[in-house]
Amino acid sequence: MIWWPSAVPTIQYGQFTLRPLSEEDIDAIYQSCQDPLIPKFTTVPSPYSIELAQSFVRERTPHLFDERKAITWALTINKDVSPAALKVNGETFLGPFGIHAIEESNHIGEIGYWLNKDVRGHGYGSIGCKMVTNYAFETLGFRRLAGLVDNENQASKKVLLNAGYDHEGLMKSRVTRADGRQINMDLFAATSDTWVNL
């Protein structure tokens, strides 16, 4: 079985930190989700209100963690990467990263993430994915993490490939978007027996 922590841990890697979401993240999450690419390629609703950000931090994330269905972190870096980048407690907020769709008996889950628009294109997404995956395999006992990516989202495919995930194939008509479109998703995966640590 998967080992489950009593609280969301803080994980460090160089200048990067995965830490539990906090009240201070609410405004950064709200601001970040005003970017139309996030709802286009994820399940984030549009329009995205401050109330949705509050519920995500205060209710949804803790509930899913308590139910052992998901674990979510804020990825930050302790340097100023852009004048327009969002700051939380003096650090640059990069975006939420986590594991969801957990099946404990099968030791599997799905990695999920998005990056604030002002910090994309610097490899931060791949570092965040590596940090989550290392923790999942080395500490929690997962044996496989999948990543499902909208077939049109070339940047997210690159994130997972650069993180060490393998492309396993195209899943036709896998997801229904809010506008009713049925879209194809690319399936990526990493397994504990072939994973190379950071």
Residues 137-183: pLDDT tens digits? 999 999 999 999 999 999 999 999 999 999 999 999 999 988 889 99
Q: Is the pLDDT of residue 111 over 90?
A: yes
In terms of pTM, does the model score above 0.75?
yes
Look at residue 80 in the predicted model and tell me its pLDDT: 85
Look at residue 81 in the predicted model and tell me its pLDDT: 85
| CATH code linked to domain 11-145 | 3.40.630.30
Give domain limits for the chain.
Answer: 11-145
Q: Which of 9-23, 53-67, 79-93 has the lowest mean pLDDT?
A: 79-93
**57: phi then psi, degrees, rounded to nearest 5:** -80, -45
Q: In this structure, what token pair is assigned to residue 22?
A: 């906090």
**Looking at the chain, which runs of residues are DSSP E strands?**
11-13, 16-20, 71-77, 87-88, 91-103, 108-113, 144-150, 166-176, 182-191
Average pLDDT over residues 8-14: 97
| Per-residue confidence band for 83, with pLDDT thresholds at 50, 70 and 90 | confident
